[in-house]
Homo-oligomer: A and B are copies of this chain.
Amino acid sequence: MSSPEALLRHCPHFQVAIELVGRRWNGVILLALARGATRYGELRDAVPGLSERLLAQRLRELESSGVVAREVRPTTPVQIRYSLTESGTALVEAMRPLMQWADRWADQSAM
């Protein structure tokens, strides 16, 4: 067995990552971006039930976490485009095994 220290070494970062993808709506927003949504309206349409206010708030949080980039195009009117950063793309890939686990197992447990 590894030492307790080795086990715990990963914990604070893991907890941050889990809370980031686990916060309600963040997972589906990240997935929508991974599947090609770039505009605010596309994201809104991709996540039925999510209010505009909450979508805006989540996007700001994801941006400040470094996983989503917000680009302002200096057209008239300005266009805003959202995309995954390199770490955001990696995060979506890292989420997939857990999604697959949930699909495979969640129905069979008492959860």
List residues of chain A with CB under 8 Å of any chain B CB: 1-2, 4, 7-8, 10-22, 24, 27-28, 31-32, 35-37, 42, 45-48, 64-67, 87, 90-91, 93-111
Q: How far is the CB of A111 from chain B (nearest CB, A)?
A: 5
Contact of A101 among B17, B31, B105 (CB under 8 A): B17
How far apart sit A111 and B11, CA to CA, in the bound complex (Å)? Answer: 14
- Copy total for this chain: 2
- Knowing A18-B18, A28-B11, A107-B13 are in contact, say whether A94-B101 is a contact too (CB < 8 A): yes
How far apart sit A10 and B92, CA to CA, in the bound complex (Å)? Answer: 14
CB<8 Å pairs between A and B, sample of 26: A1-B36, A1-B37, A7-B32, A7-B35, A7-B46, A7-B47, A10-B103, A11-B27, A12-B106, A13-B102, A13-B103, A14-B99, A15-B22, A16-B102, A18-B22, A18-B98, A19-B22, A21-B98, A22-B22, A66-B110, A66-B111, A67-B109, A87-B101, A87-B105, A87-B108, A94-B98
